[in-house]
Amino acid sequence: MSLDLAVIRAAQARIGPYIKYTPVLTNEALDAARGARLHYKCENLQAAGAFKSRGACNAVFSLTDAEAAHGVVTHSSGNHAAALARAARLRGLAAHIVMPTGAPQSKVHNVASFGGRITFCEPGLTAREAACAQIAAATGAEIVPPFDDYRVMAGQGTATLELLQDVPDLDFILCPVGGGGLLCGTAVAAKALKPGLKVIGVEPALADDVAQSFRAGRRISIPTPATIADGLRTNCPGEKNFPLIQQYVDDIVTVSEEAIIAAMRELWDTLHMVIEPSAAVPYAALLEHKFVFGGRKLGLILTGGNVDLAAVPWLK
Amino acid sequence: MSLDLAVIRAAQARIGPYIKYTPVLTNEALDAARGARLHYKCENLQAAGAFKSRGACNAVFSLTDAEAAHGVVTHSSGNHAAALARAARLRGLAAHIVMPTGAPQSKVHNVASFGGRITFCEPGLTAREAACAQIAAATGAEIVPPFDDYRVMAGQGTATLELLQDVPDLDFILCPVGGGGLLCGTAVAAKALKPGLKVIGVEPALADDVAQSFRAGRRISIPTPATIADGLRTNCPGEKNFPLIQQYVDDIVTVSEEAIIAAMRELWDTLHMVIEPSAAVPYAALLEHKFVFGGRKLGLILTGGNVDLAAVPWLK
């Protein structure tokens, strides 16, 4: 299996009953401020509050009964964990979630609210992967990685099928980049449906593993990033993701922490959407004029809305 | 002219090009928490950030060329002022806006951003009405009141036409109450389309002029209210509004300030919508169990999203 339009269309049919067809918003004030026609795909309104429900549902409902018999397992401190726990519950499976000690209480609560069985481990990718593998070996649970997985990428690509159905004549799609799950699904879907459409990945400058790798032509690892965009703190593009990014993505640009916070505030203030810092990253690229987009028609994927309301960044 | 379904339908056709058909959202977590099936009509996503654009556009585009020749005027420190300024600009008219000294800078900025010509006056209804009448006399501008006006009520009623088109089988509609403009439009539209549907007005207990009047059977004035719900600080139901409320509304319930803040936070946190305090009032009635709604299908009008992000109430 790899990733192509047919696989993404099959994912769309599979997950339809379990996820939301989210609205695309426009805002005349923001268009005037930015000098472009902006279309916001509101995945903050997705089930469990993030696009991650798409990939998690596709993975869970792709499993054969034999593969599903012992549940699923992943390591994540964020939206993928909650989405996988929810998807597993919808199919009546156990979901084992490895979370690092010190994960925010709100994220722990979110996973628990969907019935996820939480195992805490030391922070750091090595400890997390080891704990995940150990649980998989002990229970027979199927591992569902957060991004380095074709089933997950195909599910994430369904957001772009919806976006292009609602707004067929986009010139650009802007997409936040963590490990590349959403970016690959987006780019493969978009280029298949409209080859002239440009797909731009946007990454925090503090977490620029994919931007560095894209320029170097090989996967580069960086130390664990400290960006406020907690959904994008990956330190290396996925092994399956990187070749797809090289083939289908037009550019990767990076943005400052200041721009991410300013973008988040502007979208709360004017679009009236609660979005998490990771979701503000594409709009931050417009604030920092990271590419030429004047007057064009842009789609921005607002990836999620799970944020701690007691710690809004501009009120700290 | 009075208010009936035909008038509201005519308003819908008239304002269609100038306002948004806003989405209706659902949320499985909030449904589980409240024990009801809740449908949120997102007027926080309306043009200028509130349902007020509906009534303002209907009033402005109802004017004959002769009536419109000298522009429009209103007194308001809030969403009606911005909506009227926007509607007037769309028709190429001047909009004179009387605002009280001490109005929040964000509201002043909002009105100015739509080209409204602002006149400041002393706070208090008497001074505001006097300043408004003086401008109307001096300029010939047409007065567009915020709620005590059939053109405005008809425009506000179009939100319910959309809501019932998208969700025809609602059992209840819950609607915040200030002077009764939205409530009258809502109730007249709803009862004409579905007589068995119950329309409940929800008011802050600190601004319970309409609740008191509804129980007494006559219009009662109260001192200027201090509720956090700044859109609902009216001190008497409108003269044209009150008979319609008596005829078409099933009940008016009141909610505490604490419940309004808790409702606002819960909708930001879980629905991922930035709503202003006034828009949280219907959900607050669910939190305080102000009527029997178990298991039923409810429509809640989220009236607006214009809020000062530097002064979020739970972070003060």
Are B228 and B106 members of one domain? no
Count of C-beta atoms within a 10 Å radius of residue B58 = 31
**B273 and A CB contact within 8 Å:** yes
Backbone CA torsion sign across B113, B73, B70, B47:
positive
Examine the pLDDT at A316 and tell me if it is beyond 70.
Answer: no
Question: What are the helix (H) ranges across B35-92?
Answer: 52-62, 65-68, 79-91
Four-CA torsion A97, A99, A104, A105, nearest 10 degrees? 50
Contact A14, A56 (CB under 8 A): no
Which candidate in A53, A76, A77, A278 is catalytic?
A77
Residue where one domain finishes, among candidates A143, A167, A183: A143
| Per-residue model confidence (pLDDT) at position B313 | 86
Examine the pLDDT at B16 and tell me if it is beyond 70.
Answer: yes
Residue A77 annotated as catalytic: yes
Contact B223, B208 (CB under 8 A): no
| Per-residue model confidence (pLDDT) at position A293 | 84
CA distance A269 to A264: 9
Residues of B in contact with A45 (CB under 8 A): 25, 271-272
Q: What is the pLDDT of residues B207-238, one digit of tens each?
A: 999 999 999 999 999 998 889 999 999 889 99
The number of domains in chain B is: 2
Are B170 and B212 members of one domain? yes
Residue predicted with more confidence, A118 or B76: A118
Backbone angles phi, psi at B100, to 5 degrees: -70, 145
Residues of B in contact with A314 (CB under 8 A): 309-310
Residue B316's pLDDT band (cuts 50, 70, 90): low
Q: Tell me which residue range forms the domain holding B288.
A: 5-51+149-315
**A314 and B CB contact within 8 Å:** yes
Q: In the predicted model, what is the mean pLDDT of residues A260-270?
A: 97
Residues of A in contact with B25 (CB under 8 A): 45
Are B221 and B299 members of one domain? yes
Are B166 and B224 members of one domain? yes
Are B28 and B111 members of one domain? no
Residue where one domain finishes, among candidates B128, B143, B158: B143
Are B186 and B134 members of one domain? no
Residues of B in contact with A273 (CB under 8 A): 272-274
| Per-residue model confidence (pLDDT) at position B126 | 83
Q: In the predicted model, what is the mean pLDDT of residues B1-9?
A: 94
Are B199 and B229 members of one domain? yes
> CA of A298, closest CA in chain B: separation in Å?
19
Backbone angles phi, psi at B292, to 5 degrees: -85, 115
Of A23, A45, A274, the CB nearest to B268: A274
Residues of B in contact with A47 (CB under 8 A): 28
In chain A, % of residues over pLDDT 90:
84
**A216 and B CB contact within 8 Å:** no
Residue A52 annotated as catalytic: yes
Residue bearing tokens 């922490």: A257
Contact A170, A299 (CB under 8 A): yes
Of A29, A45, A309, the CB nearest to B268: A309
The per-residue pLDDT of chain B, averaged, comes to 95
Which residues between 12 and 41 in chain B have a beta carbon less than 8 angstroms from any beta carbon of chain A? 23, 25, 28-29
**A275 and B CB contact within 8 Å:** yes
Which residue of chain A has the CA closest to B269?
A309
Are A191 and A63 members of one domain? no
| Per-residue model confidence (pLDDT) at position B81 | 95
Tokens representing residue B298 in the block: 């409810």
Q: What is the pLDDT of residues A203-249, one digit of tens each?
A: 999 999 999 999 999 999 999 888 999 999 988 999 999 999 999 99
**A312 and B CB contact within 8 Å:** yes
CA distance A305 to B271: 9
Residue B75's H or E segment, with its range, is strand B72-75
Residue B15's pLDDT band (cuts 50, 70, 90): very high
Which residue of chain B has the CA closest to A306?
B269
Residue where one domain finishes, among candidates B94, B111, B143: B143
> CA of B2, closest CA in chain A: separation in Å?
33
Which residue of chain B has the CA closest to A264?
B309
Are A63 and A167 members of one domain? no
The per-residue pLDDT of chain A, averaged, comes to 95
CATH number, domain of B120, equals 3.40.50.1100
Examine the pLDDT at B125 and tell me if it is beyond 80.
Answer: no
Q: In the predicted model, what is the mean pLDDT of residues B57-68?
A: 97
3-class secondary structure for chain A?
Answer: CCCCHHHHHHHHHHHHHHCCCCCEECCHHHHHHHCCEEEEEEHHHCHHHECHHHHHHHHHHHCCHHHHCCCEEEECCCHHHHHHHHHHHHHCCCEEEEEECCCCHHHHHHHHHCCCEEEEECCCHHHHHHHHHHHHHHHCCEECCCCCCHHHHHHHHHHHHHHHHHCCCCCEEEEECCCCHHHHHHHHHHHHHCCCCEEEEEEEHHHCHHHHHHHHCCCCCCCCCCCCCHHHCCCCCCCCHHHHHHHHCCEEEEECHHHHHHHHHHHHHHHCECCCHHHHHHHHHHHCCCCCCCCCEEEEEECECCCCHHHCHHHC
Contact A45, A302 (CB under 8 A): no
Name residues whose C-beta falls within 8 Å of residue A251's C-beta, 6 or more positions apart in sequence: A198, A200, A201, A214, A291
Examine the pLDDT at A125 and tell me if it is beyond 80.
Answer: no
Axis crossing angle, helix B79-91 with helix B52-62, rounded to the nearest 10:
40
**DSSP per-residue codes, B215-230:** HHTS----SPP--S-G
Are A289 and A207 members of one domain? yes
Are A24 and A153 members of one domain? yes
Are B28 and B60 members of one domain? no
